Amino acid sequence: MNKPWEEPMLLDAKIKDSNFTLKWCHKEKMDKRRAEGWVPVSYKELSNISSLTIEDGKSLDSTVQVRELILCKLPKDRKEERDKYYRDMTNDFFRADRDEFLRNSGSGYIDKRENIIK
């Protein structure tokens, strides 16, 4: 139950199986999301089914849908692998950018152990 000063969380869904993570995906991007491993969730899989109403757009196949968004699930271990991949890519990019800056700035250089030497 929400407190009087809080707005209701219309997209707050909880899945019974704790091995999955949830994400609301736009209808138009479902092909891409399915290719990434996201699978639509049915109402039977939710633990807080009472928070979603038929007016929100429950489809005939019992897929959880609110307007243009479809609730999807992904195994947590796959999500963690994906997050690590993107985190590593980002770190590699920033490391390369930092290295280039230091080479061009003349303020120091980087030895093979990636320590900044001045």
- Contact call for residues 92 and 74 (beta carbons, < 8 A): no
C-alpha to C-alpha distance for 55 and 43, rounded to whole angstroms: 14
The tens digit of pLDDT for each residue in 6-57 reads 666 667 777 777 889 998 999 999 999 999 999 998 878 877 655 445 555 5
The residue extents of the domains of the chain are 20-117
- Paired residues of 15 in beta bridges: 46
| Amino acid (one-letter) located at 62 | S
Alpha helix (H) residue ranges in 2-116: 30-35, 76-105
The tens digit of pLDDT for each residue in 59-96 reads 456 778 888 889 999 999 999 998 999 998 988 888 88
3-state secondary structure of 111: coil
C-alpha to C-alpha distance for 7 and 78, rounded to whole angstroms: 32
- Paired residues of 46 in beta bridges: 15
- The whole model's pTM is what? 0.61
52: number of Cβ within 10 Å: 20
